[in-house]
Amino acid sequence: MAIRKAGWRWRITGAMLTLAVMWGGFVAIRPADQVVLTIGEPYEQVRLQSRSTLPIATQDNSIDLHVKRPAALRFSDIQYGFVTPAAKFLSIYADAHGYVRSITLSPQVETLPLDATMAILLDLQNQLQRGGWRPILVGRHPPMMDTPQTRALMRANLAPQTFWLAGNKYQVSIDVRRFVHENRPADERYLITLQLSGPPLMEDRPNE
């Protein structure tokens, strides 16, 4: 009897291990989540065309329609489109008629070291420039460059920002903040925030 019970235990254990391996393989080959949208699209259309955990919109949650699992953003405007890395925080605001009006995300799944943060910032800005976006308010908020001065601002947690316009259609703001763990003051970690919306747009003031 004891031998028979032990045999069943081994079979159950083997089955569980097989399921674990199969699940791991599924996760490995499953396409990464991606939210696909343009500003002004119906939210339900965005939800259906995206591969994500975006919820069904209700009267209670339309101001914060956020993903439950990390997802990249693919802004699908033909001229001004761009793609971000996967974001753990990604939230859409839809108006009372169900149309997407803005999106806020941090294009990362965790706070990142300075070098990795800078790489994402530069890639995002390069995509904007290639797509015809124009930086504004450059007197006080120039595009972020990988320079000692920019890194010093980031290390000092002075929250450098940059602002961009896409014709008369869209605007983007990008900022970065430093997070310091009280037990690891030398561990530099950073969080990028990108906000995308449509009109009314900011006005460019070349001297600001």
Q: How far from the centroid of its chain's Cα atoms is residue 196's Cα?
A: 11
Q: Where are the beta strands (DSSP E) in 60-204?
A: 65-66, 72-75, 82-83, 89-94, 100-106, 134-136, 161-166, 170-181, 184-197
Q: Which of 43, 49, 54 is nearest to 95 (CA)?
A: 43
Residue 14 has pLDDT above 90, yes or no: no
Report the relative pairing of strands 161-166 and 170-181 from DSSP bridges: antiparallel
- CA separation for the pair 189, 183 (Å, rounded): 13
pTM over 0.95: no
Report how far residue 35's alpha carbon sits from residue 84's, in angstroms, rounded to the nearest whole number: 10
| Residue ranges of domains in the chain | 1-30, 33-208
Q: Which residues of 102-120 are buried (b: 16+ CB within 10 A; e: fewer)?
A: bbbbbbbeebbebeebbeb
Peptide bond into 31 cis (omega under 30): no
Q: Is 52 exposed, middle or buried (0-12, 13-18, 19+ CB in 10 A)?
A: buried
The pLDDT assigned to 169 comes to: 98
| CA-to-CA dists, residue 87 to 35, 74, 194, 200, angstroms | 10, 11, 10, 26
Orientation of helix 114-130 relative to helix 148-155, angle to 10°: 120
Examine the pLDDT at 1 and tell me if it is beyond 70. Answer: no
The CA R_g of the chain, rounded to the nearest whole Å, is 22
Interval 155-182 mean pLDDT: 94
Using the predicted structure, report yes or no on whether residue 26 has a pLDDT greater than 50: no
Query: 117-160 pLDDT, tens per residue?
Result: 999 999 999 999 999 999 999 999 999 999 999 999 999 999 89
Out of 21-35, 72-86, 91-105, 109-123, least confident range: 21-35
Q: What's the mean pLDDT when you consider all of the chain?
A: 89
pLDDT digits (tens, 9 = 90+) for 59-89: 889 999 999 999 999 999 999 999 999 999 9
Higher local confidence (pLDDT), 27 or 148? 148
Q: How far apart are CA 75 and CA 44, in angstroms?
A: 16
What is the structure's pLDDT at 206? 73
